[in-house]
Amino acid sequence: MRNRHKAKVFEKLTIVDTASKGKAVAKTADGIPIFLIEGVPGDVVDIQTLKKRKGYFEGKITVFHAESEHRTKAVCEHFGVCGGCKWQHMTYGAQLQFKQKEVSENLRRIGGVTPEHILDILACETPYFYRNKMEFSFSSNRWMTNEEIASNKEFNKNALGFHKPGMWDKIVDINKCHLQADPSNAIRNEIRRYALENGLSFFHPRDQSGFLRTLMIRTTSTGEVMVLLQVVHQDPALTPLLEHIKSSFPEITSLLYVINNKANDTLYDQEIILHSGRDHIIEEMEGLHFKIGAKTFYQTNSLQAYALYKVTRMFAQLKPEDVVYDLYTGIGTIAQFIAKKVSKVVGVDVVPESIEAAKANALANNINNAEFEAGDMKSIFTDAFIERHGKANVVITDPPREGMHKEVVEQLLSLSPERIVYVSCNSATQARDLAMLCQDYTLVQSQAVDMFPQTHHVENVVLLEKK
C-alpha cells in the first residue's frame, strides 16, 4: 500500500523568494523549502503541506497574517485558475526584480559564471495585451468549480479556453484574457457563442470525439489578424461557421482551417487550408517585412522582440567586414535585422518552412547578403557547413528552451569566432551551455529582457568574447 503524506501545518512563515515555474518559496525553521503557488515574497502566511519530496515540501497557503509590499490585486477574473499568468498578483516592478535575480543566480549556480557587466533588465512598456499569438482549446469537458460540482445542478460543460494546470483533459472557459489585444477576445467569444447556438460539438480529449478542436489567433503590430480553426473532421457546418467568422470580423486578414483527426493538436504535420484572405500575415520591424504563416515561429511579443533584437545587435558589435552565423534563425528575423551592417549572414533552422519563409522575406526586403539553410543543428553545423559558407567571426545563437546540443557547443568552440551572442528563453540551459563555452570565452555582459509580463518567463542575452 502506498504511503500517503500526512499534512503538516507551519504557522507564520515568511515567503522569502520566487522559485522555478513561477512558484514562491518559504522555509521551515529547519531550513526545509516549501514551494507554493500564489505566494509573493514578503507575505507572512500559514502553510499546509500537500506533498513531501526529497529535501522539500509542496504546500498551499491557508492563512495570510501580513501581505507583502510586492502584492497587488490581479486584474483578470480567471487568475489562479487558468494558470496562464502566474504573477498577476505581484507588482510589475517586483516581477522584474525577481526575474533579474533568477537569471543571475542561474548563471552563477548552474554555469559557474558571472558576467563582467550585468545590465538592468529591460521592462516591457505594455505589461498586458502584449502577445501576438494565442491558442485556445475547445472541450466538452469544462473545468468546474467546487461550488458547481457540489450543487448537483446541470451545467453547460462546453468550454473554449485554456487547459487547467495539472488536468490535461479539463479546459477553463475563458471570458476575457488580458494577454492578447482585441479583437482576440471578441473573436473567441463570438465563435463560442455561434457554436453553442448552432449545436456544434466540442472536442472531448478522452474519447477523441467532437468537431471543434482548437482556435489560434495571431496578430501583428501593423493590425493584421490571422484566425486558424482546427476541427476533427469535415462537416457541413464548417463552411457556415467560417463564413460567419469572416462576416463578423472583416478585419481578419487570414482565415484558415485544419482537419486533424490524429491524437494530438500539433499543426506541423498538417495541411493548412485557406478559407479566405491571405495564407499569411505581415509583421514590420525597422522597415523590414516578415511573412508569418500558421506554422511560423515568431517572437510572441512583437514590441519587445524589437527591443530584444536591438540588444542582440548592440552586443554583437557588428562591422562591415563581419561574417555572421545566425543559429536557430526561424524565419530569419535576426539575420535580416543585422544584414545591412555586415558582409554576410548565414541563417540555419531545423524547420524547412521557416527557411523557405526566411528566403522569401529576404528577397522581399531586398537583402542579398543573407543565406539560409535547413537542417538539424547538430547534423548540419559541421566543418563542411563552414567550408560552404565561409568562417564566421561572429555567431548569434537563439536556441529553443532546451538550449544547444553538446555537439553544437563543441563545434562553436572549434569554429572559435571572435564574439558569440547567446539569446535564450531559458537561462538555466543557457548557463549549462555557458559553462562549456567559458573554457575559451570571457562572459562580458548580460541583459535580461522581459518578453512575458505577468509570467515567470524571461529572455536573457549574453556576450562572449574570445579569450
In a domain, 240, yes or no: yes
| Cα separation, 18 vs 161, whole angstroms | 27
Is residue 87 in some structural domain? no
Are 295 and 353 contacting, i.e. CB atoms less than 8 angstroms apart?
Answer: yes
Instruction: Select the more confidently predicted residue: 379 or 20.
Output: 379
> Are β-strands 33-36 and 56-66 bridged in parallel, bridged antiparallel, or unpaired?
parallel
Domain match, 433 and 306 both:
yes
Residue 353's pLDDT is: 86
pLDDT over threshold 70, residue 169: yes
pLDDT exceeds 50 at position 2? no
Q: Do 123 and 221 fall within a single domain?
A: no
pLDDT digits (tens, 9 = 90+) for 182-215: 999 999 999 999 999 999 999 998 888 999 999 9
Identify whether residues 404 and 310 lie together within a single domain.
yes
Same-domain check for residues 141 and 109: no
pLDDT of residue 450: 98
Mean pLDDT in residue range 339-357:
94
Which among 134, 125, 99 is positioned nearest to 426, based on CA atoms? Answer: 99
* Confidence check: pLDDT of 427 > 70: yes
| Cβ–Cβ under 8 Å, residues 424 and 437 | no
**pLDDT class for 7, splitting at 50, 70, 90?**
confident
The domain boundary residue, chosen from 229, 252, 285: 285
Q: CATH number of the domain that 240 lies in?
A: 2.40.50.1070
Distance, in Å, from the CA atom of 121 to the CA atom of 135, rounded to the nearest integer, reads: 28
Are residue 211 and residue 310 in the same domain, yes or no? no
d(CA 27, CA 35): 9
- Does the structure show a pLDDT above 80 at 156? yes
* Closest among 49, 129, 47, 137 to 85, alpha carbons compared: 129
Quick one: pLDDT at residue 4? 67
- For residue 109, CA distances in Å to 3, 89, 98, 183 come to 34, 28, 16, 43
Does pLDDT of 313 surpass 60? yes
> Domain span at residue 236?
133-285
Nearest-CA neighbor of 77 among 69, 92, 88? Answer: 88
Contact 76, 455 (CB under 8 A): no
- 191 lies in the same domain as 317: no
Tell me if 268 is assigned to some domain: yes
Amino acid at 25: V
- Per-residue model confidence (pLDDT) at position 416: 96
Q: Same structural domain for residues 210 and 107? A: no
The CA-based angle 405-411-414, given to 5 degrees, is 150
How many domains does the chain fold into?
Answer: 3
Average pLDDT of the residues in 446-462? 97
Whether 460 maps to a domain, the answer reads yes
236-246 pLDDT, tens digit each: 999 999 999 99
At 20, the pLDDT band (50, 70, 90 cuts) reads: confident
- Determine how β-strand 24-27 pairs with β-strand 33-36: antiparallel
Q: What CATH number is attached to the domain comprising 51?
A: 2.40.50.140
C-alpha cell at 378: 547538430
What confidence score (pLDDT) does residue 277 get?
Answer: 98
Cβ contact 123:44 at 8 Å:
no
Whether residue 103 is contained in a domain is answered as yes
| pTM metric for this prediction | 0.91
pLDDT score at 21? 85
Q: Which of 229, 264, 285 is the C-terminal boundary of a domain?
A: 285
Q: Do 347 and 268 share a domain, yes or no?
A: no
Instruction: Pick 145 or 25 by higher pLDDT.
Output: 25
% of the chain beyond a pLDDT of 90: 86
Q: For residue 73, tell me if it sits in a domain.
A: no
Q: Mind listing the pLDDT tens digit for each residue in 277-308?
A: 999 999 999 999 999 999 888 999 999 999 99
Could you tell me if 330 and 441 lie in one domain? yes
Pairing of strands 117-122, 441-449: parallel
Burial of 268 (0-12, 13-18, 19+ CB in 10 A): exposed
Pair 149, 260 in one domain: yes
Which domain-ending residue is among 285, 311, 340?
Answer: 285
Backbone angles phi, psi at 377, to 5 degrees: -60, -45
Contacts of residue 194, defined as CB under 8 A and 6 or more positions apart, other chains included, come to 200, 241, 244
336: pLDDT strictly greater than 60: yes
pLDDT digits (tens, 9 = 90+) for 111-133: 999 999 999 999 999 999 999 99
Based on the fold, state whether residues 122 and 144 are members of the same structural domain. Answer: no
CATH number of the domain within which 412 lies: 3.40.50.150
Q: Which of 82, 124, 177, 425 is catalytic?
A: 425
* The pLDDT of residue 417 is above 90: yes
Catalytic status, residue 82 = no
Q: Are 435 and 108 in contact (CB under 8 A)?
A: no
Query: Does residue 151 have a pLDDT over 90?
Result: no
Q: What is the mean pLDDT of the chain?
A: 94
Query: pLDDT, tens digit, for every residue of 70-88?
Result: 999 999 999 989 878 999 9
Is 1 domain-assigned? no
Task: With respect to residue 199, please indicate whether it lies within any of the assigned structural domains.
Answer: yes
So what's the pLDDT on residue 150? 77
Within this chain, do residues 137 and 119 fall inside the same structural domain, yes or no?
no
